[in-house]
Amino acid sequence: MAQEQVVTPWEVSGSGAIDYDKLISQFGCEKLEQRLIDRVVKLTGKRAHTFLRRGVFFAHRDFEKVLDSYEKGEKFYLYTGRGPSSEALHLGHLIPFMFTKYLQDAFKVPLVIQLTDDEKCMWKNLSVEETKRLARENAKDIIACGFDISRTFIFSDFQYVGRGFYENMITIAKSVTFNQVKGIFGFDGESHIGKIFFPAVQAAPSFPTSFPHLFGTKSKIKCLIPCAIDQDPYFRMTRDVAPRLGYQKPALIESRFFPALQGESGKMSASDTNSAIYVKDTQKEIKKKIANYALSGGGDTKELQRKNGANLKVDIPFKYLTFFLDDDEELERIRDEYGSGRMLTGEIKNILSDVLWKMVEQHQQARLAVTEEMVDAFMAPREMPFMFEK
């Protein structure tokens, strides 16, 4: 029998590729229908992001309600985050941030970004000092994605948690039993109490009163969370307690995972640098990794490729292009040419190397321009008077 697929915030495994439809029904979220994407385009007057057009963000909870109220002139805020477990971000890590930046620009709304240094201190057994350092380094990569400082607040848990935020954490924590988190996250009697309590920390930013300097102490503004679908358990829990605390349930828009170079069923692992492209890689490294490690669905020899074409269902260069090649016509051309065998594996790999290097080079330049002062400015708890400005 096939091994059951397991998706939690700490583990993604199964016998083959993730079955995303099954995940939607397991988790109880909804499919992101084309109808909703069309509404986003209509409401924002902007072309749908590549990740929407290609189904990278594919599931949601209550996203439609956010659109309904936005249409009536009601605002919302965005909340996303990152667990700073290492300095080396790979392309998969950038996906939620690239998408959140698009949402922020399109809807003109404020954004809070949680850096869970506390989470990684507990799960990765790193020292407090080391996770704080990593949070700051990661903040630079996040800022390099182009967020608007007049509507973006980045915070580290170690630095920021207190007051309204802590009050919400405690209110959440006393509404969730040990049996509930056991069921949702798989904790057991051996899990230390920090882990058992942590879901309250990740839940708190879903409620506007955690940020009194932004929303005051009474706001009921809606929250929309863009994230990878492995974070869903945290927010299932959050949505469950919200009405009991007099808050609105946060809405979610959720993405697939970015596949490892070795293929859809492989896991990108921080310890295997050949499984992923990192934002710090050089052009040469990117070319080499794609040439040597990207799983190909093309024919084993030139003759076989010409004769049978490529299997695009497993081909990693093609999959990576669906994430990052924005030009729809060019992607269709590649699908035809490569799928039919007129294009060879080496050629599609060259195209991919160019596309990725362009993106990575731009990121590296943007990151170089991020100063310590800018990090301080993004991370300062402050009022943001223009956060809803068009």
Q: Which residues bind ligand TRP (CB under 6 A)?
A: 9, 79-83, 114, 116, 119, 202, 225, 227, 231
The least CB distance from residue 93 to ligand TRP, in Å, is 8
Q: Which is nearer to ligand TRP, 230 or 315 (CB)?
A: 230
The least CB distance from residue 122 to ligand TRP, in Å, is 11
Round to whole Å and give the CA distance between 59 and 237.
Answer: 17
Q: Mapping DSSP to helix (H, G, I), strand (E, B) and coil, where does residue 94 land?
A: helix
The least CB distance from residue 86 to ligand TRP, in Å, is 11
Query: 179-201 b/e with 16+ CB inside 10 Å = b?
Result: eebeebbebeeeeeeebbbbbbb
Q: Which is nearer to ligand TRP, 97 or 320 (CB)?
A: 97
The least CB distance from residue 83 to ligand TRP, in Å, is 3
- Whose tokens are 């669906």? That residue is 322
The least CB distance from residue 254 to ligand TRP, in Å, is 10
251, two tokens: 């809405």
Q: Is 138 in contact with 89 (CB distance < 8 Å)? A: yes
Q: Choose among 3, 1, 6: nearest CA to 23.
A: 6
Q: Which is nearer to ligand TRP, 91 or 355 (CB)?
A: 91
Q: Which is nearer to ligand TRP, 102 or 293 (CB)?
A: 102
Q: Which is nearer to ligand TRP, 122 or 374 (CB)?
A: 122
Round to whole Å and give the CA distance between 38 and 189.
Answer: 47
The least CB distance from residue 252 to ligand TRP, in Å, is 9
Q: Choose among 332, 347, 349, 336: nearest CA to 309.
A: 336
Q: Which is nearer to ligand TRP, 55 or 92 (CB)?
A: 92
- Whose tokens are 């506390």? That residue is 118
